[in-house]
Copies of this chain bind each other. A is one copy, B any other.
Amino acid sequence: MIPSQLAEVTRERVLRAAGEVFAERGFRDATVRDICGKAGVNVASVNYYFRNKEALYCEALSFAFEEAEERYPFDCPEGEGVTPAERLRHFIRNFLMRLLDDTHLGWHGKLITREILSPTAALVPIVDSIMKPRFDAVRRIVIQLVPHPLDDDSLERCVLSIFGQCLVYRHARSVIDQMRPQIVAGPEDREATAEHVFRFVLAALTHLPPTPGT
């Protein structure tokens, strides 16, 4: 019952290996034998430290989010001196880099992408605690940049247009790699991509025509 220091390190080894394998192969195709093999522990460990494979998955998902939050902190500057355009640029770059990071925590982006596509019960708290605040922040930026009032649905669709332009680089990565890999290959390419999305969104928001109906 009382976990020792040694137990915690093997527990985290399993968690880390689980994140990688789940991200690479998905929940079903990832076997506990693969995970434990990668972690260098016995298969019974997953049942000893976590209840079963599903509970391990839930913990791995939370763990991935905590690590990603630590590495790419949200911290969208809301200070007085920062223009809405600057906040937009900061957000897009931050979000895109987190999605495309394949080196250290490469599995975070893949993991959450799989979860969004085939949602489990584990997604609900993540949407509420992590995605909703992010949507709210972008919503405030959009309102400040569009030169005329927006109804709620149009506002929401603008936010989705922004997220969509970032997410496509992760979601359609296999297609991009097959058609034009150089635009996300190196760090400087990713910076250029972030800059493009920012310019594209800024041009759209500041020149968006008012909806005829309103």
Q: Which residues of A contact B (CB under 8 A)?
A: 26, 28-29, 113-114, 116-119, 123-124, 127, 131-132, 135, 153-154, 156-158, 160-161, 163-169, 171-172, 174-176, 178-180, 182-183, 189, 192-193, 196-197, 199-201, 203-209
Contacts of A158 in B (CB 8 A): 196, 200
Distance of A86 from chain B, by nearest CB (Å): 16
Contacts of A179 in B (CB 8 A): 127, 131-132, 135
Q: List 6 A-B contacts (CB under 8 A).
A: A117-B117, A124-B178, A160-B165, A164-B172, A165-B165, A207-B207
Contact A157 to B127, CB < 8 A, known contacts A28-B26, A117-B174, A179-B135: no
Q: Which has the most chain B C-beta neighbours within 10 Å: A113, A114, A164?
A: A164
Contact A201 to B203, CB < 8 A, known contacts A29-B28, A156-B180, A180-B156: no
Q: Which has the most chain B C-beta neighbours within 10 Å: A29, A171, A209?
A: A171
